[in-house]
Amino acid sequence: MIKEIKFTDKALKQINNLLSKKDKGTFFRIAIKGGGCSGFQYEFTIDDTKADDDLKYENIIIDKTSADLLKGSEVDYVSELIGSQFKITNPQSKSSCGCGVSFSL
């Protein structure tokens, strides 16, 4: 179970919409990877493999290290003039780049 991470209704609806177009048994994976102009970036993928140490909430999986870095965060799905995207508000993030894709801790 993924604790201390909030998912908005819009995010859950979009995740379910994306997974409805995939094979049964697929998951929406959220991960934090090194990279981007600020040091870390969020990664959203569709995955059909769940590792033993992955944490699960409904049809969402997050590896334990990423879940620790996401503690207290809110995952939302927003529509803006430049397009629609998943947006994470992470209280552990000290700064982010101008495009909002990468961040530092």
What pLDDT, on the 0 to 100 scale, is given for residue 102? 59
Q: 72 lies in a domain?
A: yes
Domain count, the chain: 1
Question: What are the DSSP calls for 7-69, one per residue?
Answer: E-HHHHHHHHHHHHTS-TT-EEEEEEEE-STTSEEEEEEEES---TT-EEETTEEE-HHHHHH
> Can you give the pLDDT at residue 13?
96
pLDDT the model gives residue 90: 87
As a whole number of angstroms, the distance between CA 91 and CA 52 comes to 27
Q: Is residue 97 part of a domain?
A: no
DSSP three-state, residue 100: coil
**Quick one: pLDDT at residue 34?**
81
Tokens of 54: 């992955």
pLDDT the model gives residue 27: 96
Per-residue pLDDT, 61: 96
Angstrom distance (rounded) from CA 69 to CA 87: 15
Residue 102 domain-assigned (yes or no): no
98 part of a folded domain: no
Specify if 104 maps to a domain: no
Q: What is the pLDDT along the chain (105 residues), one digit of tens a residue?
A: 577 899 999 999 999 999 999 988 899 999 998 876 667 888 999 999 999 999 999 999 999 999 999 999 999 999 888 888 898 988 887 666 555 565 666
Domain range holding 49? 6-19+27-92
Residue 80 lies in a domain: yes
40 assigned to some structural domain: yes
- For residue 39, the domain's CATH number is 2.60.300.12
Whole-angstrom distance, CA of residue 35 vs CA of residue 21: 29
